[in-house]
C-alpha cells in the first residue's frame, strides 16, 4: 500500500494548488482525480465560458465597426469550429495542469476516490493511506425535479452541444444564467431568461441589477421574472414546449437549467468518517479547514464559503502552508472582487449600497452613467454604470461597482486599492488616464 503525507481528492484549482505548495514544502503528495485536470473552472466553467463570451462579442463588434468605416459582408458563425477550437484549448490546459503536477513531484492517481476511514482511501481498485487528506471535489450542477426534467441540459452539458438552437430558454437567476443569456444572444440565438424571483443576480448591488436588466432587454433578451417552469414536453419536431406557471408557454429548441450547484459528495465515503455537513449540504470545517474528522480537511466549492476559483486557490495555498510550512495568512473573505461576464460586463468589490447602508451610519454614493467612448460613433444603445460607495465617517471606500466594457479588468485594480485601505481622498488625488472609461472612478466629485 502506498503511503503519502498528503492525499488531495480532486485536481481542480484548489486541489492542484494545495498539492503543489505542499510538495514544494517537502511533503510526499498525491492527487486523486476521476475526470479531468483543472476541475470545473478549466473544463466546464470559467475558461470555456469566457471563450464563448469572447465569441459572442463579435456580433456587436461587427455591427459597431460600420461606424468606424469598416464594411463587412454577412459574417457567419460556425458553432462546430468554435466548439472544436474550445475543446483543443481545454485539452492543452489539461496538459498544462498535468505538467505542473509532474514538475512539482506530485503523484497523480486516476480514478474515483472513496474514503474507507480516517487516513485510508480507495482509488479505483487501489487502496492508499495518508497522514492528511484534503477534500477538494468541487460542485456539480443542480436541476430540480419537475415533469420533463429529462429534456433539459445543465451548465456542464451546454459546452458540448452538437448544434446551436435557433431559440433557447435559460432557467435561473445567478451569474451562470445571466452570462449564458448574453452568450447565446450574442451568437444569434433568440434567448429567454426565466427566473422565479423579481430580479436576477441576487446579492449584487440593486442598482447594478436593475441597470443590467435594462441593458439585456435592449439587446433583445426576453426576461421572464417572477416566473417558473411547470413542465416541459417535446413536440413531434423535437422542440421543447415549456409550460410556465403564469399560464403562458414557450416553444424553443433547447432549455438550459442554471439553477445552482451542489457539492459533489456522491459515493465519497463520508459515512466512514466523522465528517459532517452543514444545513446547506456543504462540508463543515473550522477556521483551519479541518473537518470533524481529525486529519481530513476540505477546501473550495465543497465548503461553500465563496464559490470562486481564486478563493479555492487562496484556501489551498493557506492550508498547505499551515500544514507543512510556516502558518500562512488567513484567507480574507471581506474584499473578494468578482465579475459577471454579461454584456456589458459586471464587476464588483466590497459592499453593495444596500449592505453599506445597513453597516454604516452615513454613506456617500458617487455614480455616473454614460455611453462609453468606444460606442460614440455607433448606433449601439449600450451604456455603462459606475458606483463608488464611501463610509463618510472614515472616508474609506467600501464598495466599487461597475457595469460596462472590461469591468472585470478595471475593478481588479480597484480591489488592490481597497484592500490597501484606500479612501475617497486617495481616489480624488489619483491622476486619471485619459481618455479611458476607468478614469471616471477618480474623477467622481459630487455624491448622488
pLDDT tens digit string along 179-188?
999 999 999 9
Share of the chain above pLDDT 70, in %: 100
* Between 412 and 330, the higher pLDDT residue: 412
330 pLDDT higher than 90: no
423 DSSP assignment: B
Residues 212/384, Cβ–Cβ less than 8 Å = no
CA angle 366, 368, 369 (to 5 degrees): 150
Cβ within 8 Å of residue 67, ≥6 positions away: 377, 378, 379
The catalytic residue among 112, 192, 224, 434 is: 434
Cross-strand pairs, 423: 396
Domain 2-140+262-324 is classified in which CATH homologous superfamily? FAD/NAD(P)-binding domain (3.50.50.60)
> 459515512: which residue's cell?
271
How far, in Å, CA of 47 to CA of 233, rounded? 32
Given this model, what pLDDT does residue 363 score?
Answer: 98
How far, in Å, CA of 398 to CA of 351, rounded? 6
Name the 3-class secondary structure at 214: helix
What is 338-442's CATH number? Answer: 3.30.390.30
How far, in Å, CA of 168 to CA of 191, rounded? 5
Q: Are strands 126-135 and 296-298 parallel, antiparallel or unpaired?
A: parallel
Q: Is the dihedral of CA 93, 94, 100, 103 positive or negative?
A: negative
What is 149-259's CATH number? Answer: 3.50.50.60
User: What residues does each domain of the chain span?
Assistant: 2-140+262-324, 149-259, 338-442
328 pLDDT higher than 90: no
Given this model, what pLDDT does residue 338 score?
Answer: 97
- 337-385 tens-digit pLDDT: 999 999 999 999 999 999 999 999 999 999 999 999 999 999 999 999 9
N- to C-terminal Cα distance for the chain? 67
Going through 313-440 in order, the beta strands assigned E by DSSP cover 338-340, 346-350, 363-370, 384-391, 396-403
Q: Buried b vs exposed e over 272-293: b needs ≥16 C-beta within 10 Å?
A: ebebeeeeeebbbbeeebbbeb
Q: What global pTM score does this model have?
A: 0.95
- Determine how many CB atoms are found less than 10 A away from the CB of residue 50: 16
Mean of pLDDT values over 181-196: 98
329 pLDDT higher than 80: no
> 448544434: which residue's cell?
163
Name the 3-class secondary structure at 192: strand
Given this model, what pLDDT does residue 1 score?
Answer: 86
User: Is residue 401 annotated as part of the catalytic site, yes or no?
Assistant: no
Given this model, what pLDDT does residue 373 score?
Answer: 96
CA atoms within 13 A on the CB side of 212: 33
* pLDDT mean across residues, the chain: 97
Residue 226 falls in which region: left (phi positive, over 0), alpha (psi -120 to 50) or beta? left
Given this model, what pLDDT does residue 79 score?
Answer: 98
Closest CA to 143 of 308, 7, 262, 10: 262
Cβ within 8 Å of residue 236, ≥6 positions away: none
- 91-124 tens-digit pLDDT: 999 999 999 999 999 999 999 999 999 999 999 9
Given this model, what pLDDT does residue 138 score?
Answer: 96
- 214-271 tens-digit pLDDT: 999 999 999 999 999 999 999 999 999 999 999 999 999 999 999 999 999 999 999 9
Given this model, what pLDDT does residue 327 score?
Answer: 81
Name the 3-class secondary structure at 368: strand
Amino acid at each position: 500500500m502506498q503511503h503519502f503525507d498528503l492525499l488531495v481528492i480532486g485536481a481542480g484549482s484548489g486541489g492542484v494548488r494545495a498539492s503543489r505548495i505542499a510538495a514544494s514544502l517537502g511533503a510526499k503528495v498525491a492527487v486523486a482525480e476521476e475526470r479531468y485536470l483543472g476541475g470545473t473552472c478549466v473544463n466546464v466553467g470559467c475558461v470555456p465560458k469566457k471563450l464563448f463570451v469572447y465569441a459572442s462579442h463579435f456580433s456587436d463588434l461587427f455591427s459597431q465597426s460600420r461606424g468606424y468605416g469598416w464594411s463587412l459582408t454577412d459574417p457567419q458563425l460556425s458553432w462546430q469550429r468554435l466548439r472544436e477550437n474550445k475543446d483543443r484549448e481545454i485539452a492543452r490546459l489539461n496538459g498544462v495542469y498535468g505538467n505542473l503536477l509532474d514538475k512539482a513531484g506530485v503523484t497523480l492517481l486516476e480514478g474515483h476516490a472513496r474514503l474507507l476511514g480516517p487516513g485510508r482511501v480507495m482509488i479505483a481498485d487501489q487502496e492508499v493511506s495518508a497522514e492528511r487528506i484534503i477534500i477538494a471535489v468541487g460542485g456539480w450542477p443542480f436541476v430540480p425535479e419537475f415533469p420533463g426534467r429529462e429534456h433539459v441540459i445543465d451548465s456542464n452539458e451546454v459546452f458540448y452541444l452538437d448544434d446551436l438552437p435557433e431559440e433557447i430558454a435559460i432557467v435561473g437567476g445567478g451569474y451562470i444564467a445571466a452570462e449564458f443569456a448574453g452568450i447565446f444572444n450574442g451568437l444569434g440565438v433568440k434567448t429567454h431568461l426565466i427566473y422565479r424571483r423579481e430580479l436576477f443576480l441576487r446579492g449584487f448591488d440593486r442598482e447594478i441589477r436593475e441597470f443590467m436588466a435594462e441593458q439585456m432587454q435592449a439587446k433583445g433578451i426576453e426576461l421572464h421574472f417572477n416566473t417558473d417552469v411547470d413542465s416541459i414536453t417535446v413536440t413531434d419536431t423535437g422542440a421543447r414546449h415549456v409550460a410556465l406557471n403564469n399560464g403562458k408557454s414557450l416553444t424553443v429548441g433547447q432549455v438550459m437549467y442554471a439553477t445552482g450547484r451542489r457539492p459533489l459528495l456522491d459515493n465519497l465515503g463520508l459515512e466512514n468518517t466523522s465528517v459532517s455537513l452543514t444545513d446547506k449540504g456543504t462540508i463543515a470545517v473550522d477556521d483551519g479547514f479541518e473537518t470533524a474528522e481529525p486529519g481530513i480537511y476540505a477546501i473550495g466549492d465543497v465548503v461553500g464559503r465563496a464559490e470562486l476559483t481564486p478563493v479555492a486557490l487562496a484556501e489551498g495555498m493557506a492550508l498547505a502552508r499551515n500544514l507543512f510550512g510556516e502558518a500562512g495568512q488567513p484567507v480574507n473573505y471581506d474584499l473578494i472582487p468578482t465579475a459577471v461576464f454579461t454584456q456589458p460586463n459586471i464587476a464588483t468589490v466590497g459592499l453593495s449600497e444596500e449592505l453599506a447602508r445597513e453597516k454604516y451610519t452615513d454613506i456617500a454614493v458617487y455614480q455616473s452613467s454614460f455611453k462609453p467612448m468606444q460606442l460614440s460613433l455607433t448606433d449601439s444603445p449600450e451604456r455603462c454604470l459606475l458606483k463608488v460607495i464611501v463610509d463618510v465617517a472614515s472616508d474609506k471606500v467600501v464598495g466599487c461597482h461597475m457595469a460596462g466594457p472590461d469591468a472585470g479588468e478595471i475593478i481588479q485594480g480597484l480591489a488592490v486599492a481597497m484592500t490597501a485601505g484606500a479612501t475617497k481622498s486617495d481616489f480624488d488625488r489619483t491622476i486619471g488616464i485619459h481618455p479611458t472609461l476607468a478614469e471616471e472612478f477618480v474623477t467622481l466629485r459630487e455624491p448622488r
